[in-house]
Amino acid sequence: MKHETTHGITLPKIGFGAWRIGGNSSPNRSLDEKSMTALRSALEIGYTHFDTAEMYADGHSEELIGQAIRDFGAKREDVFITSKVTPSHLRYDDVLSACENSLRRLQMDYIDLYLIHWPHGGSKYDETFKALNKLVRDGKVRHLGVSNFNLRLLKQAQELSETPIITNQVPYSISDRSNVKNGVLEYCQQNDILLTAYSPVDEGHLRSNKTLESIATAHQANVYQIALAWIISHPRVITIPMSFNPQHIRENYEAADIELSPAELEQMDSLGK
């Protein structure tokens, strides 16, 4: 597995995204067995970064991740947990309560990386970061980041955070280059911020084409693996694909071992133009 290191922390290029684990915006306990199978598979394969949020299945995703890690017997220091506070919880007291609730559901003493999930119009981010900074000082959160922030808001977050902003988690894929066009990717690369790409294969709806298929054939891989390999070929970029299928979970992980040639990378770059 390839890694990125920033501000003293090292993260795998490919982690496990937990959107839909345990349900969508509300819990769906009929998915528990399927969700736990996926999480167990990820841990057995070697995933160490798990990305969740209080919004995912209304917190049930966090519960299942915590349970899976305990059942697997992983040491807390051997896994890296990212979670997120919802836009409706950005006031000072609400941030503190949201984090406590996430810790309770995870049954953990700290969250490795805590993000503002989405910007919220009218939010007073100085109040939000006052609470986030306190969580870091109190040891309940190790590192801070944001998600879905444009360049202006990302710079504001940097100014308000007492510790480095570790990541901006945004959509990024072969078909979605919006955070290239708006300057977010370049700014992250120049300022030691990881861009965490979500929906890297368009939630499983990646459109194949002759270029992708040709490159996949050359590497004895599938087009999804090639799409992931292209994303993580960029410096300061990591990604968090999700799947319930153990075979796909393994294939996603193994995509980190694919070395695309300069010519192949150039071909794939041109797909978005």
Tell me, yes or no, whether 26 lies in a domain.
yes
- Please identify which of the residues 47, 56, 114, 125 carries the catalytic annotation: 56
The per-residue pLDDT for 203 is 78
pLDDT digits (tens, 9 = 90+) for 7-47: 999 999 999 999 999 999 999 999 999 999 999 999 999 99
| Integer Cα distance of 161 and 129 in angstroms | 6
Residue 2 lies in a domain: no
Question: For 104-144, how does the pLDDT look when each residue is reduced to its tens digit (9 = 90+)?
Answer: 999 999 999 999 999 987 678 999 999 999 999 999 999 99
Locate 199 and state its tokens. Answer: 């929906």
222 occurs within a structural domain: no
117 in any annotated domain: yes
Q: Which domain holds residue 126?
A: 10-204+237-242
Residue 104 lies in a domain: yes
Residue 22 near residue 32 (C-beta atoms within 8 A):
yes
pLDDT of residue 124: 85
Task: Compute the average pLDDT of residues 65-86.
Answer: 98
Cα–Cα distance, 23 to 227 (Å, whole number): 26
pLDDT at residue 58 tops 90: yes
- Give pLDDT, residue 169: 98
Residues 41 and 94: their CA atoms lie apart, in Å, by 34
- Is the predicted pLDDT of residue 176 greater than 70, yes or no? yes
Question: What pLDDT score was predicted for residue 86?
Answer: 97
Residue 4: inside a domain:
no
- Domain membership of residue 261 (yes or no) is no
> What's the CATH number where 81 sits?
3.20.20.100
Backbone φ and ψ for 96, nearest 5 degrees, come out as: -60, -45
pLDDT attached to residue 271: 85
Strands 111-116 and 141-147: parallel
Q: How many domains does the chain have?
A: 1
Examine the residue annotation and report whether 56 is marked as an active-site residue of this protein.
Answer: yes
pLDDT value, residue 273: 63
Does residue 166 lie in a domain region?
yes
Residue 202 has pLDDT above 90, yes or no: no
What is the predicted pLDDT for the residue at 208? 84
Q: At what angle do helices 210-218 and 262-271 cross, to 10 degrees?
A: 160
Cβ neighbours, 10 Å, residue 214: 13
